[in-house]
Every structure is written in C-alpha cells, then in structure tokens.
Structure 1
Amino acid sequence: MSVDIINRDAVAEASHASRATAPKESDVFGRIGNLETRLARTPSEIDAAQAVRYRVFVEEMQAQLPAEAMRRKRDFDAYDAFCDHLLVLDRSIEGDSEDQIVGTYRLLRQDVAMANGGFYSASEFAIDELLARHPDKRFMELGRSCVLPDYRTKRIVELLWQGNWAYALKHGMSAMFGCASFPGVHPESHALALSFLHHNVAAKDEWAVSALPHLARDMDLMPAEAVNPKRALMALPPLIKGYLRLGAMVGSTAVVDKAFNTTDVLIVLPISSISDRYLNYYGADAGRFAS
C-alpha cells in the first residue's frame, strides 16, 4: 500500500467541496446504543479518521509511512481527497465528533475512481482485468479498514457492515473488493491460512483476479489434504474471516507490502453472493440498524 503524500489543504478543500451541501442526516447509516455509523462530513473529521488510521497502522502494526505522515501522525494519501470515509463514532465519549471516532473505512466507487486515476488496489492487483470482464457492473473498493483496540467487538463489525451495505445500496453497486492483510511480510508464516484460502475460496472464472506479476506471492503453500480447516479458520485475521462469512472470494496470489508490514490478499464480494443469512440480518434495504 504505497502512500503518496499531497498537500493536506488540497485534501481538505476537495473533501469539503464534496460534502458541503450534503444533508446532515442523509449520511447516517445505522445506530446501536451509543454507537453510530455515518460518512465523514468535514475535513476535520477526515483528519481525525486519519489519526485513527495512524494509531492502528503505525503505532500498533509498525507501518513505515513517508516522513511527512510520520511527523503529522496521520495516515493520509492522495485518495483521501475523493474517497468517502465511513466512520463509527462512540457518542458516549465527551467532546466533538472528531474525538468520538473509533473506527473507519475508506470507500471508493468505480465512477469516482475512474475520474481520478483508478482504484488504490490496482497498485498491487490486476483490478483492470477484473473490471474489463464486467462492463455492466459497478464496483466499489473498501480500504483502510481499522478499529481502535478497545472497540474490536461484534457491535462495531456489525455497524461497519451496516454502513458498507447501506452505502452500496444507495449507490447501486454490484460488487465490492479491497485488500485485506495478514501481519508481517513473510507469507510462509501464514502458510496454513493462505493455503486454506487458496484451496477453498479462490475467486474463479469471471471473478478470478491475481496480484500484478512482479509482486505476486504464492498462496498455495500446503497441499489441500494437509490443511486443517478448523485450525486455518482460527488463524485468519478477524476482518478476512468476516468477509468469508458474507460470501467473499479471495484472489489467487498475495502481495507483500513492506511499508505497511503486511501480506495482502484481495477480497472480492459480488453483491449477489452475499449470504442470505446476512441479507436477512441487515435487511434487503439495509434497515437493520437504521434509525
């Protein structure tokens, strides 16, 4: 996940322009108790989300961002200016909304991506080939997912997915995709989990997608008969496990991202593949937690 540093004022100006006329309640996607999920409304909220990302990616996961990002203690790049930023806020925390952000996702629709140079994941995976096979479908990219340690609970996951699902419905999306990460830069240390993904949930045929050839790392590290599914599922990061429950598939090869200290796989989730269990839970109109 390479990070291109740009002037923060430009990010703020572009973000403000895209949100200045938005009705305040139209971007609230769900509430559970004191927790709320909605889109960021102001440059200062985006800045606060970048601070949360810094805390998770740098302070916890040991990512090495460019010097300016490290100095400002913000994870930010050029994409922040035109993406939408999904937030989870804890309204029980005293202070302004910026102080209440405990989780975030970065959302990028295909039309917006194409108008701004493409998808972020295309720097690692052959996204253009996937899009070319589906000219009649509209894709959205999920990225920069993170939640503060004290909030990594079922409720937060439910709200984040409530937000993603409501956003996808609102904009008529056909499929979601995005990078999901294993900690560390040695795929071999995740041989069991990666092999399980390769043998059991690999995206195939029209949904097949691989890493760019010069970055591709093999995920077929153990023969299928040597993979214990129960142990493999326990070894999966919670985010990837959550994607699989929804019905997601995974690209055929991985990428080592030294800057973020991760091994990345590509998640592909056609809307039509989302498990009926979850469609019923969140509601076909994403109304489960809406209020």
Structure 2
Amino acid sequence: MPTLTDRRYRARISASHDDLKAAQRLRALTFGTGGADGLDRDAFDEICTHILIEECRSGQLVCCFRMLPLKGGADIGQSYSAQFYELSALARFEGPMVEIGRFCVHPDWRDPDILRAAWGAMTRYVDDHGVEMLFGCSSFHGTDADSYLDAFAMLKERHLAPRRWLPRVKAPMVFRFAQTLRLRKPDARLAMLRMPPLLRTYLMMGGWVSDHAVVDPEMGTLHVFTGVEIRAIPATRKRLLRAVAQ
C-alpha cells in the first residue's frame, strides 16, 4: 500500500522498529495499558501490518491500527479475536480475511477526517489484496454495560451476525445483550450517541456483531466481535471509500 495523503493527514505502513514503538506508545496513551517502558505490545505485533496516520505538517502520529491477514476462515483460530470468541462458524468462510486491531486515535485529536484517512488506508489494502471480509473487536469504553443499554439494544434489533457466521461464547465474563435485552426497544438517538465511532462506521457499511459483549478487565472495555463482508457494502458507500483511498 503506497502512502496516502489528503490535505492534512497521510496514511502509511510502518517501516521500522521506531515506527512500531511510536504506535505502541500511542496505544498505551489511549488505552492506558502500557508497561514500565510506556508501550502497549503483545505477540501479535510481530505478525501484523501496522498502519500509521500522521498529521502532514508536524509529522505527529494521530491514529494507528494493525492488520492481520488470513488466507481464509480456516486460519481464524490464529486471530486475536479467537482468544475471546468461539469462531468455528467462520472457519467455513473461504475468501481472504483481515483482522483489524488496536485501533486508536490520539485523545487530543478530534478531527473526523482522521477516521476518513484510516478508512481510506483500509480500503486501499482491501482492494490491493482482494480481501473479502474485515473483522475484529469493537470496543466500548469501560466495563459498565448499563451505560450502553440503548446501543446494545440497537445492535440486538438491527445488526446481529447472520446465523451462519454467529460467534459463540468463549470468554469467562460476557454480557449476553441479545438475550438480556430481547424485549427492550432502543432509543435511536441515545443509541447512536453511545455507539463507538469505529463501530458506527462498520455498521454503516453493513457490518454485523456478536450477540454478546466480552468484558475485558485488562483493557478496561466491553467489546463485540464485528464483521464486514466486503461484497455486502452498499455500492454508494464503496464509491465514497474508494474516493478517499485514491
């Protein structure tokens, strides 16, 4: 993937150990998970492609995420998400897949164009490598599910995974929102206010989620497994994404 640049931000693949450390430092700042060296890192970093979004004028790193390519669903057990979700249903998926992980935006930067730059980079990678599914864990800040009941109720009502791909429970602590909130009608305004921006974008592309959220005390989050089948993305949305990816 070549460097992508718009008027203010550029997206590029990590090219050095220093680039990777910069991403790990931003992740630690954003997630509050750094070790004594101030870096957030794990074994998956060595096998992933890391994308950096930088402000052009200053060169400051404002966003990063990593991508783990898989040949198909048979390799799903190698993913980060497989630690938390039972994903045997997705083992039948035949096309190339990419797991998106550790997505974060610098807490001092609120520009929505940062997210556009990130999606432009993802779109270019998907097109260049013939990817047929994106997936990962979409996180809600904190572990108090009561703060997000309308958001979870909307996920239950409109965005559950197709039964053929539905992830099953594996983690020891989960919030089974589809079951618990089966009679709750969501307040759409409150639901969208509480929906994480990255997940909101996945849903606009036709994405779907697991029927439960994992409670992750280490990261201090609730997260749902999220999948986007590329062929299911609405045509108008694809055109917009590809325009950003030029």
Aligned residue in 2 for 1:76: 41
Q: When the two structures are superposed, what TM-score results if normalisation uses the length of structure 2?
A: 0.91
Cα distance in 2 between the residues matched to 1:271 and 1:74: 33
CA apart distance, 1:289: 4.2
The one-letter amino acid of 2:177's match is: M
Aligned residue in 2 for 1:7: none
Alpha-carbon contact 1:181-1:264 (below 8 Å) kept? yes
Q: When the two structures are superposed, what TM-score results if normalisation uses the length of structure 1?
A: 0.78
> What stretches of structure 1 of length at least 5 have no aligned partner?
1-25, 59-64
CA apart distance, 1:86: 0.8
1:178 corresponds, among 122, 132, 136, to 136
Aligned residue in 2 for 1:253: 212
1:114-153 → structure 2 map (5 Å cutoff): 118-127=78-87, 129-134=88-93, 136-153=94-111
CA apart distance, 1:112: 10
CA apart distance, 1:140: 0.8
Which contiguous aligned blocks of 4+ residues in structure 1 show a shift greater than 6 angstroms? 112-117
Cα distance in 2 between the residues matched to 1:227 and 1:119: 32
Please identify the structure whose Cα radius of gyration is greater.
1
Among the aligned pairs, what percent are the same residue?
Answer: 26
3-state secondary structure, aligned to 1:107: strand
2:10 corresponds, among 31, 36, 39, to 36
1:43-58 → structure 2 map (5 Å cutoff): 43-58=17-32
Aligned residue in 2 for 1:194: 152
Alpha-carbon contact 1:32-1:289 (below 8 Å) kept? no
Alpha-carbon contact 1:87-1:104 (below 8 Å) kept? yes
Is 1:91 the equivalent of 2:56? Answer: yes
CA apart distance, 1:223: 4.1
Deviates more, 1:154-163 or 1:217-226: 217-226
The one-letter amino acid of 2:62's match is: V
Sort the Cα spacing of 1:162 and 1:130 in 2 relative to 1 into closer, same or farther, 3 A. farther
CA apart distance, 1:229: 2.0
Cα distance in 1 between the residues matched to 2:245 and 2:133: 22
Cα-to-partner distance string for 1:60-90 (whole Å, 9 max, x where unaligned): xxxxx4xxx4211010111111100011011
- State the number of aligned residues: 245
Cα-to-partner distance string for 1:142-195 (whole Å, 9 max, x where unaligned): 000001123332211111001111111212111010001111112233222112
> What stretches of structure 2 of length at least 5 have no aligned partner?
none
1:277 corresponds, among 220, 233, 236, to 236
CA apart distance, 1:113: 10
The one-letter amino acid of 2:122's match is: N
